[in-house]
Amino acid sequence: IAGITQAPTSQILAAGRRMTLRCTQDMRHNAMYWYRQDLGLGLRLIHYSNTAGTTGKGEVPDGYSVSRANTDDFPLTLASAVPSQTSVYFCASSPMAVSSYNEQFFGPGTRLTVL
């Protein structure tokens, strides 16, 4: 069982280019999330999805888009990358959208550098 995987592990990207970060989970979790991790700011939510077919904006959604065509996959797209999007990106999933015993499971992260 892989759990939750992300690809690529790292990427250097020229500003203005389009980039899609992939996230796949095999736990049949309903909810999925994308965070960016920046020094001193912690983890900030970019977008989320409660179930397949629905998405929502998090704290820092500008410049990013997501889709949730099925339960397993939750790709994050940067339409036109800018240097301020240099960060480590984490995908996460949780069993249910609303639960007192919810826990988020995290992927290994993607280190993105935009030059």
Partner 1 sequence: AQRVTQPEKLLSVFKGAPVELKCNYSYSGSPELFWYVQYSRQRLQLLLRHISRESIKGFTADLNKGETSFHLKKPFAQEEDSAMYYCALKGLKGQNFVFGPGTRLSVLP
Could you list the residues that contact partner 1 (CB under 8 A)?
A: 31, 33, 35, 40-45, 48, 50, 58, 90, 92, 94, 96-98, 100-104, 106-109
Closer residue to partner 1, CB minimum distance, 16 or 59: 59
Minimum distance from residue 38 beta carbon to partner 1 (Å): 9
Closer residue to partner 1, CB minimum distance, 96 or 115: 96
SS (H, E, C) 85-109: HCEEEEEEEECCCCCCCCCCEECCC
The residues, any chain, with a CB within 8 Å of residue 32's CB and separated by 6 or more, are 23, 25, 48, 49, 68, 74, 91, 92, 93, 94
Minimum distance from residue 18 beta carbon to partner 1 (Å): 26
